[in-house]
Structures are given as structure tokens and as C-alpha cells.
């Protein structure tokens, strides 16, 4: 342990152990404007992220989300390909199979390489979010480290009573929270020894400068209204109270004020999901809204779809939004057929909006609509889309529109979307593969405007914005 790291850890341990205050994330404040954007550097390794941090910052992203950084399932020969049908040279989902809560793995790199990436992020003012997954371990429970088993009190105490039993009905909250999701062994997250070991890992990341977390499979970790594992002597589902700093466990507490972090949970929307109860702890994913955006892209029109509501019980300012995620792309391939142009158009619409924190999924370098994994190299940078001029313009527009309320307009044919931000600016998006006209109400003052990317001319007269739009193209207009 370096002297610098020891000093930071000591300083964090001396912070007052104050419980996190509850926040009502279900009540919308119409004056709130979100300005952050996340780049999901999916499958990039630490050196790649560090080398590209300036480009990430220049592209207007304020946060970068890493893949899981803990030790993970890593059979010999793996760690080369994002996806290998022969399962010999690795797969992206291996780093979603923890074998120990220690920093560093064969895919992303060492702890020292992570610190170098963190230093680069700090240099360019980019916050780092780490994807964490305390809900389960690797499929191969023999691959889990002896240190991990010892820390939690042995193998029997690692898992819920039915933790090795695959979920059959994801709408049954007992199965969802106490059985194995996706077949992955379900950890007894209520075990105080596990909680302590996990929180020590979290505090180590915070000491390195991490500013937030994405909780994978968050809806599979129970809240107070969910069933408890009585066979394991569990009296309450208190993992989220510990993880968010409301209570300590065996002398360990979240080392920084929880409100200083950006935290969201992967709570995929479905029946019987207690969204309001999860909202008491963290922001959530607007997965249903992402589905609607993809349906809109498939149709080439927003007609018949509600693209204004975020379709969630949480207030929109506490949602993480996306057009696609790594799961919709790589797992179910639900979004992989959509072209880069389509994803970009919906990204501009999403990012121009007043609320939500949009996440841009970085597709693999060289990927096509028939070859989803492209160059198929684990650790390499994704394709150029994250710094496409339209993406950059939308990101910067979002920051510049702080304090400006939105008003969304849709053309009669559903093919043109207009996001007005008060009198300060507007984003015009043609989601169709044909050219279009825009003639919609706007808050911009009358006059002639040129968009920031293409220099295209638009006119505003008597409160209506008019102009000609190229196929699948977006335009950013500012006062």
C-alpha cells in the first residue's frame, strides 16, 4: 500500500459517521435541469480509457462508466475477445461474474492501471462511475476465491438458501430476490460479513477518486417490503441501508457523504417491481422509455407513442436514460440492428431534454449491423460515434441549457422532433430516412439561425421554426 493511498484511507476513516438522509425521488421539481452525460466505455480497459480521456472530455461527456473492476471469472486463454462462440478466448460477461471484491482483473487491468486512469479523469474533469454487482458470484462457485469465502464466513454463508436455484418467474419477488437471476448464484447480501467485505471494496474505490456507482441487477437485491431468507436467520433486507451509508456494518460505513455520489440501480421495469421503494435509495434506469425510443426508431415515426413521459414512478431528474444499453446490444441484441445514424438521432433528442441523465453506449470498433462485435478485441476503444459532431453538439447543448425548461413538439407525420429549451435554444431531429421539413412552435425569438454542426439555416417567424432537414440528421440551434 502506497503512502499516498494510506493517507487518503485514513482521512476517509476519520470522516463523521453520519447516516444518509432520505430523499424523495418520486416528486418532480419542474425547475430541475440535468446537465450530466455518461459515456459507457463498455469493454474498454484502463489504459484505453486513460489514453482517450481528453477526447471524452472534449466530446462533452461529464462522466465515464467503466465495466466491472473486481476480480472475476477468468479461465485460461480468456480475456482476448468480446465474444467468442467457442468460449475459449473470453466473453464480455465474464467480468459480470465476481470471484472476489478486490480491484483488478484480466480484462480491464490492474489496480495501478486503474489509478492512472483515475488520475487522467481528474486531469480533464471527468467523473468516473464504476459498475458494481454485489448480487451474485461467478457461475463456477469453485472459481470464487478462498479469501472471499473466508471473509463471509464460509461457502454456506455466501449464498441465499435457494441461491443456486434459477429464477423461474421474474415477477415473483421471492424468486427475484432470493433465487439465482440468469442462473448466477445469488449472494446472501444480508450477511453482515459480506456487507463489511463489500463496503471495504467500495471505500477503496472512493479513496481512488471514484464518484459514483451503477448497481447491476439491483432489483434482485431485496428492499424492506420483500421476503427475507428466514432459513439464514435474516430479519430484514438491509443491504441498501448499508450500501447507501444509512447504517454501518461491523464498524464499516460508506466513507463519503452519499449525496456527493452519482448512484443508480439497474432496476429493469416489469410487473411487481417496487420502484418507489428503490427510489428511496438511488436513481433508477428508465428501461421502459428506452424501449419506446427504439420502437420509434424502428417505425421512423413517433406517432402513437408517448415520447414525452419517462414512464416511471421516479421523478425524471433521478432517472438514467438511454437509447440502448450493453444488455440490449450484446445480450438480447434487441437494439443491435439499429444503425449508428438511428442511435445518434435518438441520442440527440434524449440529451436535448431537460431531465434524465443520458448514457451513451460505446459500440465496438468496426461493428456493423451484421457483425455486432466488429474487431472483437476486449479492452480496445469503441467506434467513433461517441465523438461524432452531432453527439458532441448535443452534449454541449445540454450543459448550456441549464435552467431552461423544455417543450417537446412532434410534427404531424411523427418524423420530426423538436426539443425547445425556453428562449435559449432548440434541437431539431429528423428520425426518418427521408428528407423532411420542420414547421413547429418554438420559444426562440424571431430571426435567422444557423445550426452549430452543419451551418444549416433555419428561420423563426411568429413563434414557428421552419427549415429543411436531411434524412436521419440532427441540428442544434442556440440563441
* H/E element, 351: helix 340-352
- Kind of pairing, strands 127-132 and 212-215? parallel
pLDDT one-digit tens code per residue, 381-414: 999 999 999 999 999 999 999 999 999 999 999 9
Active centre residues (catalytic) = 216, 266
Cα–Cα distance, 117 to 234 (Å, whole number): 39
pLDDT tens-digit readout, 38-53: 999 999 999 999 999 9
Between β-strands 425-430 and 474-478, what pairing exists: parallel, antiparallel or unpaired?
antiparallel
Only one residue has cell 447543448, namely 397
Summarize the confidence of residues 145-157 as an average pLDDT: 97
Question: pLDDT per residue over 266-309, tens digit each?
Answer: 999 999 999 999 999 999 999 999 999 999 999 999 999 999 99
Helices marked H in 369-416: 389-400
Closest alpha carbon to 338 in 369, 359, 361:
369
pLDDT tens string 442-470: 999 999 999 999 999 999 999 999 999 99
| C-alpha span between 99 and 423 (Å, rounded) | 53
Report the largest interatomic distance among the alpha carbons of the chain, rounded to a whole angstrom. 72
- Tally of CB atoms within 10 A around 116: 17
Q: Are 221 and 194 in contact (CB under 8 A)?
A: no
Which are the contacts of 138, defined by CB distance < 8 A and separation ≥ 6? 72, 73, 97, 98, 99, 144, 184, 185
Is the pLDDT assigned to residue 15 strictly greater than 50? Answer: no
The enclosing H or E element of 90 equals none
What is the helix (H) or strand (E) element at residue 357, kind and residue range? Answer: strand 357-361
The residue with cell 447491476 is: 216
Residue 22 has what pLDDT?
A: 66
**Alpha carbon distance 166, 92 (integer Å):** 21
Q: Can you tell me the distance from the alpha carbon of 230 to that of 121, in angstroms, rounded to the nearest whole number?
A: 44
Residue 379 forms beta bridges with which residues? 44
Q: Estimate to the nearest angstrom the gap between the alpha carbon of 235 and the chain centroid.
A: 31
What interhelical angle do 192-208 and 111-123 show, nearest 10? 50
Confidence of residue 1 (pLDDT cuts 50, 70, 90): very low
Mind listing the pLDDT tens digit for each residue in 187-241? 999 999 999 999 999 999 999 999 999 999 999 999 999 999 999 999 999 999 9
Residue 276: which H helix or E strand, with range?
Answer: helix 275-278
Q: pLDDT by residue (tens digit) across 307-318?
A: 999 999 999 999
Give the contacts of 399 (CB within 8 A, at least 6 positions apart).
35, 60, 62
For the chain, give the percent of residues with pLDDT over 90. 93
Q: How far is CA 308 from CA 18, 292, 423, 448, in A?
A: 38, 10, 19, 28
Chain-centre distance for alpha carbon 179: 24
Query: Are the C-beta atoms of residues 157 and 193 closer than 8 Å to each other?
Result: yes
From residue 315, give the alpha-carbon distance in Å to each of 41, 57, 277, 387: 26, 28, 13, 29
| 266 and 182 Cβ atoms separated by less than 8 Å | no
The confidence score (pLDDT) of residue 77 equals 85
Query: What's the chain's average pLDDT?
Result: 95
Residues 83-90, mean pLDDT to the nearest whole number: 91
- Cα distances (Å, whole numbers) of residue 176 to 101, 108, 214, 233: 23, 30, 19, 19
Rg of the chain over all Cα atoms, to the nearest angstrom: 23
Q: Which cell is 373 given?
A: 462485435
Please state, in angstroms and as integers, the Cα–Cα distance from residue 376 to each residue in 108, 382, 401, following that order: 15, 10, 38
Per-residue pLDDT of 368-383, as tens digits, reads 999 999 999 999 999 9
Domains and CATH numbers, the chain: 13-403 (3.20.20.80), 405-479 (2.60.40.1180)
Amino acid at each position: 500500500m502506497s503512502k499516498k493511498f494510506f493517507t487518503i484511507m485514513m482521512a476517509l476513516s476519520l470522516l463523521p459517521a453520519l447516516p444518509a438522509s432520505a430523499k424523495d425521488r418520486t416528486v418532480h421539481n419542474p425547475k430541475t435541469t440535468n446537465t450530466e452525460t455518461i459515456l459507457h466505455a463498455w469493454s474498454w480497459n484502463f489504459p484505453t480509457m486513460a489514453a482517450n480521456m481528453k477526447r471524452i472530455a472534449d466530446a462533452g461527456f461529464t462522466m465515464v462508466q467503466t465495466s466491472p473492476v473486481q476480480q472475476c471469472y477468468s479461465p485460461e486463454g480468456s480475456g482476448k475477445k468480446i465474444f467468442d462462440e467457442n468460449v475459449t478466448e473470453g466473453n464480455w460477461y465474464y467480468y459480470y461474474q465476481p470471484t472476489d471484491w478486490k480491484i483488478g482483473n484480466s480484462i480491464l487491468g490492474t489496480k495501478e492501471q486503474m489509478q492512472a486512469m483515475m488520475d487522467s479523469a481528474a486531469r480533464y474533469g471527468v467523473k468516473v462511475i464504476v459498475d458494481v454487482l454485489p448480487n451474485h458470484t461467478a457461475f463456477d462457485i469453485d472459481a470464487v476465491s478462498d479469501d472471499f469465502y473466508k471473509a463471509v464466513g464460509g461457502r454456506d454463508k455466501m449464498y441465499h438458501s435457494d441461491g443456486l436455484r434459477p429464477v423461474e418467474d421474474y415477477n415473483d419477488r421471492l424468486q427475484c430476490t432470493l433465487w439465482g437471476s440468469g442462473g448466477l448464484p445469488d449472494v446472501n447480501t444480508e450477511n453482515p460479513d459480506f456487507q463489511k467485505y463489500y463496503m471495504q471494496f467500495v471505500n477503496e474505490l472512493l479513496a481512488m477518486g471514484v464518484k459514483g456507482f451503477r448497481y447491476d441487477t439491483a432489483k434482485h437485491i431485496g428492499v424492506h417490503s420483500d421476503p427475507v431468507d428466514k432459513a439464514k436467520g435474516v430479519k430484514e433486507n438491509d443491504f441498501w441501508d448499508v450500501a447507501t451509508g444509512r447504517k454501518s456494518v461491523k464498524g464499516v460505513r460508506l466513507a463519503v457523504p452519499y449525496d456527493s455520489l452519482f448512484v443508480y440501480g439497474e432496476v429493469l421495469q416489469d410487473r411487481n417491481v417496487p420502484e418507489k421503494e428503490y427510489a428511496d435509495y438511488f436513481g433508477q434506469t428508465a428501461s421502459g422509455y428506452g424501449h419506446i425510443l427504439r420502437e420509434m426508431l424502428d417505425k421512423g415515426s413517433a406517432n402513437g407513442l408517448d415520447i414525452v413521459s419517462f414512464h416511471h414512478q421516479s421523478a425524471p431528474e433521478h432517472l438514467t436514460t438511454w437509447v440502448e444499453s450493453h444488455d440490449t446490444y450484446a445480450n438480447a441484441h434487441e437494439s443491435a440492428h439499429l444503425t449508428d445514424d438511428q442511435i445518434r438521432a435518438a441520442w440527440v433528442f434524449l440529451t436535448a431534454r431537460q431531465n434524465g441523465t443520458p448514457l451513451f453506449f460505446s459500440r465496438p470498433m468496426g461493428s456493423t449491423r451484421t457483425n455486432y462485435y466488429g474487431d472483437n478485441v476486449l479492452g480496445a476503444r469503441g467506434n467513433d460515434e461517441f465523438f461524432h459532431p452531432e453527439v458532441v453538439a448535443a452534449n454541449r447543448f445540454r450543459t448550456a441549457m441549464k435552467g431552461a425548461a423544455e417543450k417537446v413538439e412532434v410534427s404531424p407525420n411523427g418524423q420530426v422532433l423538436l426539443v425547445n429549451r425556453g428562449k435559449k435554444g432548440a434541437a431539431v431531429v429528423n428520425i426518418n430516412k427521408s428528407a423532411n421539413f420542420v414547421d413547429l412552435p418554438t420559444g426562440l425569438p424571431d430571426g435567422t439561425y444557423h445550426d452549430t454542426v452543419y451551418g444549416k439555416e433555419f428561420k423563426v417567424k411568429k413563434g414557428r421554426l421552419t427549415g429543411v432537414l436531411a434524412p436521419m440528421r440532427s441540428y442544434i440551434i442556440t440563441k
